[in-house]
Amino acid sequence: MRSTTNIDEAARVMTICNACRYCEGHCAVFQAMELRLEFNTENLDYLANLCHNCGSCFHNCQYAPPHQFNLNVAAVFADLRQENYAVYAWPAPLGRLFSQNGLWVSILTAIMLGLFMAGGAILTGADFFAAHPNQFYGVISHNVLVTLFGSVGIFVFIALSLSIRKFWRAMSLPSPLSLDWLNVWTGIKAALSLKYLDGGNGQGCSYPTEKPSMLRRWFHQATFWGFMLCFAATSTATVMHYGFDLPAPYGYISLPKFLGILGGLGLLVGPIGLMMLKLQADPAIKGRSNGGMDTSFLVLLFGTSLTGLLLMLLSQSSWVGPALCLHLGFVMALFLSMPYGKFIHGFYRLIALVAFAVEQQKHQAVVGVVEPDPDMIKVKNLG
């Protein structure tokens, strides 16, 4: 369900901002805002996902609290983004479940899945508290792991695809194949470089304090590239296993291990840094939601990385079984939460940035534009 309170407040704030335009140079939000005279659900969702919550507009706004206009763009868009996780989610009930209790649902899911893995390994006769020549594959076989994560992966892929498709349609964009690829590249470049975390002045976010800082951009980059390196490690291991008949486990100097260690370190540093900044941030710009699913994503990333590195260290010991199941619990919980939180927001933001590039090229609003009723046009012409 949409919160009319959030929509109405966002429309009020944007209407006043559009009259003032003091912040027009800060980021893409205000440039996209200027192309509009009215604000509806679709273009407010668009603006919310363009917003990087850098806090710059709040700290520079002459109408921010305690002014009677009480403008807080960062907070109202933070609330809308949290709402988007459930609004565009598939299936909808899971979106609502995660949005209401994101952090605890994610942690309990990781623990329960870890216990389920451990129980399954013990019931199938694996020597759970023993070292194995083929390390963790002696606890749970390669084929079983592929079957489990393949099944979850298919569900997550479908859920992500349907959610992205729903958001894409809300943005009033044509088929991806018919887009100008220069616009697509402009959006991708802005997303990967975190262009709009510079506060509009190249000095960085006014986050966690009013003083500009590049820390948030650096920690975001560490998190993103850490995740991509871990993905590359898994992909490399898959190619080696099926393409070159080189099955795991692999040594420390192998490419999968090297990429995995680098990625794991990135997923320790990045989430810890972002969590520290989040805890220190001015409560005024966080919004009422306090970023439940954003926090759970950081916790799951950190837990996945920490337990993965722990498993690597314990893989030849008698603790390999518990370490494996703990790690798999976090990995599967991370997978299952992807369509309902910060991970899917990455795709929503990319789509919003592509839409922004399209609007800048056309010099007119595209998202949330209501087409005139042909019958009403005929009536007017007859009149």
Q: Are 304 and 263 contacting, i.e. CB atoms less than 8 angstroms apart?
A: no
- The DSSP code sequence of 101-129 is HHHHHHHHHHHHHHHHHHHHHHHTT--TT
186 CB-side CA count, 13 A:
16
Q: Which two tokens stand for residue 214?
A: 């590049």
Q: Which residues pair with 205 in a beta bridge?
A: 213
Phi and psi at residue 205, to the nearest 5°: -70, 150
In terms of average pLDDT, the best of 75-89, 190-204, 369-383 is: 75-89
Q: Are 137 and 249 contacting, i.e. CB atoms less than 8 angstroms apart?
A: yes
Bond from prior residue into 65 cis (ω within 30 degrees of 0): no
170 CB-side CA count, 13 A:
22
Using DSSP's 3-state secondary structure scheme, residue 205 falls into strand
CB within 8 A of 283, min separation 6: which ones?
A: none
Q: Is the pLDDT score of 36 beyond 90? A: yes
Phi and psi at residue 268, to the nearest 5°: -90, -50
Helical (H) or strand (E) element with 278: helix 255-280
Q: How far apart are CA 128 and CA 140, in angstroms?
A: 9
State the chain's mean pLDDT as an integer: 89
**Domain assignment of residue 221, yes or no:** yes
Confidence of residue 379 (pLDDT cuts 50, 70, 90): very low
Q: Tell me the per-residue pLDDT of 55-112, one tens digit each, with 9 for 90 and over.
A: 889 988 999 999 999 999 999 999 999 899 889 999 988 888 877 777 788 888 889 9
Q: 55: left (phi > 0), else alpha (psi -120 to 50), else beta?
A: left
**Domain assignment of residue 1, yes or no:** no
Q: How far apart are CA 364 and CA 367, in angstroms?
A: 10
Distance of CA 246 to the CA centre of its chain: 34
**Domain assignment of residue 264, yes or no:** yes
**Domain assignment of residue 44, yes or no:** no
Q: Is the pLDDT score of 144 beyond 60? A: yes
Q: Which residues pair with 266 in a beta bridge?
A: none
Q: Is the pLDDT score of 362 beyond 80? A: yes
CB within 8 A of 367, min separation 6: which ones?
A: 32, 42, 43, 46, 170, 171, 172, 173, 355, 359
- Amino acid 369: pLDDT: 84
Q: Which two tokens stand for residue 324?
A: 């494996």
Phi and psi at residue 213, to the nearest 5°: -155, 145
Q: How far apart are CA 383 and CA 201, in angstroms?
A: 52
Q: How far apart are CA 7 and CA 79, in angstroms?
A: 10
**Domain assignment of residue 19, yes or no:** no
Q: How far apart are CA 264 and CA 267, in angstroms?
A: 5
- Amino acid 7: pLDDT: 94
* Average pLDDT of the residues in 330-341: 92
Confidence of residue 382 (pLDDT cuts 50, 70, 90): very low
Number of domains forming the structure of the chain: 1
**Domain assignment of residue 54, yes or no:** no
Q: Is the pLDDT score of 380 beyond 60? A: no
Q: Is the pLDDT score of 229 beyond 80? A: yes
Q: Tell me the per-residue pLDDT of 276-335, one tens digit each, with 9 for 90 and over.
A: 998 888 888 877 665 577 889 999 999 999 999 999 999 999 999 999 999 999 999 999
Q: Is the pLDDT score of 374 beyond 50? A: no
- Amino acid 65: pLDDT: 92
**Domain assignment of residue 73, yes or no:** no
Q: How far apart are CA 10 and CA 80, in angstroms?
A: 8
- Amino acid 383: pLDDT: 44
* Average pLDDT of the residues in 255-264: 95
- Amino acid 290: pLDDT: 54
Look up the domain containing 218 and give its range. Answer: 92-382
- Amino acid 87: pLDDT: 92
Q: How far apart are CA 149 and CA 331, in angstroms?
A: 9
Q: Which two tokens stand for residue 240?
A: 């080696």
Tracing tokens 């592929």 back to the chain, one arrives at: 146
Angle at 171 between CA 170 and CA 172, to 5 degrees: 90
Q: Is the pLDDT score of 376 beyond 50? A: no
Q: Is the pLDDT score of 43 beyond 70? A: yes
**Domain assignment of residue 149, yes or no:** yes
